[in-house]
Structure 1
Amino acid sequence: MLTKPNKLEIGDTIGIIAPSGSLASLVPHRLEAAKKNLENLGFKVKLFPTTKLNDNGNAGTIGERIKDIHDAFLDKKVKAIICATGGISNNQLISKIDYNIIKENPKIFVGYSDTTILHYAFQKKAELVTFYGPCAITQFGEFPDVLEYTKNSFINTLVEGRTLGKIEPSEEWTSELLDWFQKLDLTRSRKLGKNSGYKWLKPGSAKANIVGGCLHSIAYLIGTDIDLDYTDKILFIETPEGKDFTKGEPIPYVEAQIVDLKNKGIFNKIKGLIVGRPFGYSDEEKTQFEEIIKEHLKEYNFPILINVDIGHTDPIITLPLGVNVTINSEENTFSIDESGVI
């Protein structure tokens, strides 16, 4: 049984850490905007040292990043922890974290992208419900304010603490990037386009516990001691940007990772698949993305729901990991059936 953290109260302190990449230190105006936007929601904000560090692309040394994780969980005033951003180096930390600290001080932990690795580790080693959701500089640093759908999901999930029920898709979305280094993000808000809503690559219904995260991080974890048991679970996956931050991860890489999961036998175990809206693909690439999913999963009978507001496009939901969810193609619904907090 996983431990659910206490819900947030307006006036509580949120800690921001950077356990992986150093982007927060390179675009400090985004970090300050995140702090201000969270304060405008009624929270106090504590910036931990890694948010200001850059060590060859990482937010400090392994030791400095581990210390911030431990300190944030040990700090009695901090009621929730939000990651500044993702990166590629959370896998450096998993063997060095003191999971007893996490287990003895359960609290809200939020992030996405390669934060997937910490979500898996905290669920496996500390038995904690965590939250796949907005990061500080990417979502809370939005100009001129956090997108309303992202903000509402964060509050409903973590402050209201309700059983969320049916999750309506956002009306609009964007993957536009305005150059943060040139501060073009301060010149205007991003352009949003109409969201076409949920799409089903395979019909059906399933009700189960949800696990998952960023696809390439899940593939990294295959065979490690923090890999999770997928038996009778609903898996969600989402794809990040590629080396060119304006474009999505190349389709051949995504295909290879899906095949990795297939070869591991993960798709033999799950009851359903949810796929986040992919980042940075042309219409042609989106079609290719859907086709590789259909091709490699054609022998399975579980329902496949795509174009969900999870991952590297905006807005996004705050998704509790390790709770029961339901997907139903006939009703065209995705519902979160229990609260992730107490």
Structure 2
Amino acid sequence: MSTTPLLPAPAVKGDRVGIITVSAPEPAVHPDIFDRGVEALAALGFEPVVAPNATGQSGYRAGDSRILLEDFHSLIADDTVAAVVCAGGGKSANRLLSGLDFNLIRRQPKAIVGVSDPSLLLNAITAETGLVTFHGPSVMWDLAAEQAPAETAAHFTAVLAGRPSAGRIPAPLTWSRTGAAEGHLIAGCLSSLRCLLGTPWEPLWDGAVLAVEDAFKSVEVLDQVLTHFRDCGVLDRIAGLIVGEAVSCEPNGGVTLTEMVEDLCEGYDWPIAHGLPYGHTPLKYTLPIGAKVRLDSDGKQALTVVSPWTAARQEGETA
């Protein structure tokens, strides 16, 4: 497990950006939405490169692990491709974990972006290689969205370009417990990150600021998942917790998500913030997994990325 950050080169307008599918066959099921997302990526100034099997389907997966890994590794190995973005989500991205070529990823560091189920791959790659990866918009469900907030795409392009101003996350957070924490960022869909517990690719929890979110699950189910994290010792090791803006996570027995988290985390002393839009929400900020962040209830900015997340900065910007 790597503890030294490996920074990808910036990806800027004019660069080629690869598109992969790592889980559900969403591009095959919704080709019109996928095409619209590819067009949206091009409208941002990038040159889309669709992987050969990105639009495939094999049952509930886009293809078997071998061909999906071939897509991913070929784009990582291609010197003309500056970044790789996941098309959508699903529930089987962990099928690819055992086949990831981490040595290739170390040799060819570039921005890798995903959300929802692919967030487990991002965190595994960061844990194994130290490469900063990016929890950001999907091609289909974010870039293709006709009513998507312009800030989602704007922040995505600013973060990939390495603009320091993008590290100041303007989301207004609410606090279950105030305080400050600084540490490397682990961020993802809670139920997907659970798939890394006990595996060789489990994130380095010690001193981390953990950001979690989820969608379309009851509070009772999320209680079960977060309790699993607690019982695995994760909550004993982190420095701070951010609970993202959940989507359709309905209360159970009148208990809300915030109330459940407050109850479950009562015995810890680190800060807990709520309401960060970064997962399944229409407005989402792109977060650099593995970069150092500061969470501060009394700070001018509640959440700030305080370390570089790309290998170079854009001229004319100051941190």
TM-score, normalised relative to structure 2:
0.92
Tell me if the contact between 2:251 and 2:257 (Cα under 8 Å) persists in the aligned partners: no
Tell me if the contact between 1:163 and 1:338 (Cα under 8 Å) persists in the aligned partners: no
Corresponding residue of 2:190? 215
Structure 2: which 5+ residue stretches go unaligned?
312-319
Output the CA distance in 1 between the equivalents of 2:45 and 2:298.
Answer: 40
Tell me if the contact between 1:7 and 1:161 (Cα under 8 Å) persists in the aligned partners: no
Output the CA distance in 1 between the equivalents of 2:254 and 2:127.
Answer: 33
Whether 2:305 is the aligned partner of 1:336: answer yes
1:281 Cα deviation (Å)?
3.7
1:168 Cα deviation (Å)?
0.9
Whether 2:84 is the aligned partner of 1:54: answer no
1:9 Cα deviation (Å)?
2.2
Work out which of the residue numbers 259, 283, 288 in structure 2 matches 1:291: 259
Tell me if the contact between 2:219 and 2:249 (Cα under 8 Å) persists in the aligned partners: no
Letter in 2 for 1:302: W
Please list the CA deviations of residues 290-337 of structure 1 after superposition, one character each: whole Å capped at 9, or x if unmatched. 111011100101000010011111110110011111111124611111
Corresponding residue of 2:292? 324
Letter in 2 for 1:161: R
Consecutive aligned runs of 4 or more in structure 1 exceeding 6 Å deviation = 283-286
Work out which of the residue numbers 116, 121, 137 in structure 1 matches 2:124: 121
Tell me if the contact between 2:244 and 2:277 (Cα under 8 Å) persists in the aligned partners: yes
Task: Identify the range of structure 1 (72-81 vs 323-332) with the bigger mean alpha-carbon deviation.
Answer: 323-332
Alignment of 1:139-218 (within 5 A): 139-143=142-146, 146-162=148-164, 164-169=166-171, 197-218=172-193
Corresponding residue of 2:27? 24
Please list the CA deviations of residues 139-180 of structure 1 after superposition, one character each: whole Å capped at 9, or x if unmatched. 111116x521101111211125325343112xxxxxxxxxxx
Alignment of 1:167-316 (within 5 A): 167-169=169-171, 197-240=172-215, 248-281=216-249, 288-316=256-284
Residue 281 to residue 96, structure 1, CA distance change in 2 (3 Å): closer
Output the CA distance in 2 between the equivalents of 1:165 and 1:212.
Answer: 15
Output the CA distance in 2 between the equivalents of 1:49 and 1:31.
Answer: 14
Work out which of the residue numbers 81, 86, 93 in structure 2 matches 1:90: 93
Output the CA distance in 1 between the equivalents of 2:207 and 2:188.
Answer: 17
Tell me if the contact between 1:82 and 1:109 (Cα under 8 Å) persists in the aligned partners: yes
Tell me if the contact between 1:157 and 1:339 (Cα under 8 Å) persists in the aligned partners: no
Work out which of the residue numbers 33, 36, 40 in structure 2 matches 1:33: 36
Tell me if the contact between 1:205 and 1:328 (Cα under 8 Å) persists in the aligned partners: yes
Tell me if the contact between 2:250 and 2:256 (Cα under 8 Å) persists in the aligned partners: no
Structure 1: which 5+ residue stretches go unaligned?
170-196, 241-247
SS in 2 for 1:149: helix
Please list the CA deviations of residues 62-103 of structure 1 after superposition, one character each: whole Å capped at 9, or x if unmatched. 111111111110112111100001111111111112211111
Corresponding residue of 2:317? none
SS in 2 for 1:327: strand
Whether 2:47 is the aligned partner of 1:44: answer yes
Residue 257 to residue 284, structure 1, CA distance change in 2 (3 Å): closer
Corresponding residue of 1:181? none
Tell me if the contact between 1:279 and 1:312 (Cα under 8 Å) persists in the aligned partners: yes
Alignment of 1:107-118 (within 5 A): 107-118=110-121
Output the CA distance in 1 between the equivalents of 2:157 and 2:167.
Answer: 15
Output the CA distance in 2 between the equivalents of 1:21 and 1:225.
Answer: 24
Query: Aligned residues: percent identity?
Result: 27
Output the CA distance in 1 between the equivalents of 2:250 and 2:212.
Answer: 19
Letter in 2 for 1:300: Y
Letter in 2 for 1:259: T
Corresponding residue of 2:136? 133
Output the CA distance in 2 between the equivalents of 1:41 and 1:212.
Answer: 25
Tell me if the contact between 1:24 and 1:52 (Cα under 8 Å) persists in the aligned partners: yes
Letter in 2 for 1:21: A
Letter in 1 for 2:302: T
Output the CA distance in 2 between the equivalents of 1:15 and 1:255.
Answer: 36
